[in-house]
Every structure is written in C-alpha cells, then in structure tokens.
Amino acid sequence: MTNPTSSNNGVQLFEVSSELAGQRIDNYLRTLLKGAPKTFIYRILRKGEVRVNKGRIKPDYRLQAGDIIRVPPMRLPEKDEPAPVSQALAELMEAAIVYEDKTLIVINKPAGIAVHGGSGVSLGVIEVFRQIRPDAKDLELVHRLDRDTSGLLMIAKRRSMLRHLHEALRGDGVDKRYHALVRGHWPAAKKQIRAPLMKNNLRSGERMVEVNVEGKDALTEFRVLRRYGDFATLVEAKPVTGRTHQIRVHAKHAGHSIAGDPKYGDEAFSREIRDLGGKRLFLHAASLNVPLPDGETLQLTAPVDETWAATLSRLDA
C-alpha cells in the first residue's frame, strides 16, 4: 500500500500494493480504522462511502494490486458510544408507540428486544429512543421488562415524570397486568402465590432467581382467562411486588411454568408449544393503569404479536 494522497475535501486515496492483493476490503478497513466496530464498517460500505476504483463494492470484495481505495473523512464512534440505529429498528420502535405526550412515552415492546444495552447487547430500547428522539435530553426507563417479555413499557421524557412514576410504583398507584400461557390446568381457586425470592448470580454471570425463605417477600395475584384442556392455561398475572423474574418464578413454583421460558420453564411443554409455531416466551405486559400528575389516570392495553395469537388459535383447533 502506497502512502495515501489527500484531496482538499479530506478524502484519502490508497493504492493497493501486491502484498495486500487478495485481502477482503472489510478486513482492510478494520485494520485501517482501528477500533471501528464491524457494524460501522459494513454501514459505510453499504452506503458507498468507501469506494474502490470509483465504484461501490461489497464487504467480501478482494483487493487487487493497483486498486485505488477512496476513504472519505469520517468520525469513528467513541468507545462507549452506542451503535447507530438502523432505519428498520427505528421504524419498529416508532410503530411500537401506543402513547406519547410531552413527558411520557409508552411502547408495546416486541419480544426479543432488550430494554437497555449491555451483556452482549449493543442497543436496547432506551438507546434507540435516545437516538431517534435527540431533542428529549432526559429520556429514562421508568421500569424494565425482560428481553423476551413483550408489552407495555414506560419511558419518561422528563425527570419530574420519572420521579412521579417511581413514587407511584413504590406505592400501589400503578396497576400492571400480564398475560401468560402456562403449563397444565391452573386451578381457579389458586388466586395468588406468595413466596420470597432471592437472586443468585451463576459463574457464567447469568442471573437466576429462586424461592428462598431468606429472600425478599413477593406476591403475585393470578386469574384464569382461558383453558386449553388440561394441556395449558392462559392466566392474568398481577405482580403486587416488583421482584426480578417474579411472575416467571412464581408460575414455576406453582407447578405451572410459562411456555417458552428458557430459565424457569418446562422444556417438554415449551417444545410442544414451539411445534405449534410458538417460538417465544409467552409472557406479555397486557395492560397498564397509571396515575398522571394532573390527577387523571392513563389506561392502556397492548395487543399480542402474531406469533402469540396464531399459537393460541392452533391450541383452539
């Protein structure tokens, strides 16, 4: 590779030497742009910002001796800067909004999307909204949902709303109801599960929760919505306390684990549900009643996704 030549607008041109012939352009750019994440490399190639012999190329293009690589001036993402949000993900999050005003956003979060980045996840809901709502400087999650749980999730746009909702959550002002498809015949008389929960971190770093007398008090109220013979039951779950994985662990403790739960579920039951097309955790934050600062109550419901609806239809067949 010869020394780069620069133009007045900051574009650099590199000529490929015979020693580098055969190397893929994406691998070359990763060496040239040290520290740049793969997603950044593929994005600038896809958008045609980097060109070879004045033409667009794909990431697997292999360099040839004498090729001229055009590299425009660019700002690399900072080390802790989140990955850029794709248009598809931005559109998905915009479409998920079920309520928005000057102080609050509520979305129907799709299953499989984390609420925040970390643990191998570069982008979560909050990072996406901070990028697609750049004018909202104080966006914060009001509460959390597990990555594989779908449904209603609140994002405060102002710190005053965040404080108001946290106070309401600490009391009994917020009413959250979930739907869950559980194994077997849930008795109508089993209206609540009260069992203390304790968090444990495994060597792998995975967080697990178990019923333990030394844990924190936890109470979940349950109501039968529909039965599918003795095979499965659709229940409503209201977590009176807000412990990590509370509904999932209480359902398992009751002997009726949730379909598709990789941590606390029954694999044989989950496999039968998957065979019906149900490839997801069947836990959904379905309704939310929230007191607003002006004294009004915000009442919201969120529909389930097509996978959930189609699976229950097949159970009915």
User: 140-141 and 150-156: which strand pairing?
Assistant: antiparallel
Which contacts of 161-167 are long-range, i.e. CB under 8 A and separated by 24 or more positions?
Answer: 161/103, 161/104, 161/293, 162/138, 164/293, 165/104, 165/290, 166/142
Nearest to 133 by CA among 166, 88, 102: 102
Separation CA 304–CA 289 (nearest Å): 18
226 φ/ψ angles, rounded to the nearest 5 degrees? -165, 145
In one-letter notation, the amino acid at residue 154 is M
198 and 214 Cβ atoms separated by less than 8 Å? yes
Q: Angle, to 10 degrees, between the axis of helix 38-46 and the axis of helix 25-32?
A: 120
Chain position carrying tokens 């229940």:
235
E strand map for the chain: 5-6, 12-15, 51-52, 68-71, 97-100, 104-109, 140-141, 150-156, 175-183, 192-194, 197-201, 207-211, 219-228, 232-239, 283-291, 297-301
- Strand 283-291 with 150-156, pairing: parallel
26 is catalytic: no
Q: For the chain, what is the radius of gyration of the CA atoms?
A: 25
Structure tokens at 70: 């055009």
Q: Given 67, 146, 148, 266, which residue is catalytic?
A: 146
Give SS3 for 270. helix
DSSP code, position 11: -
Which of the residues are catalytic? 146
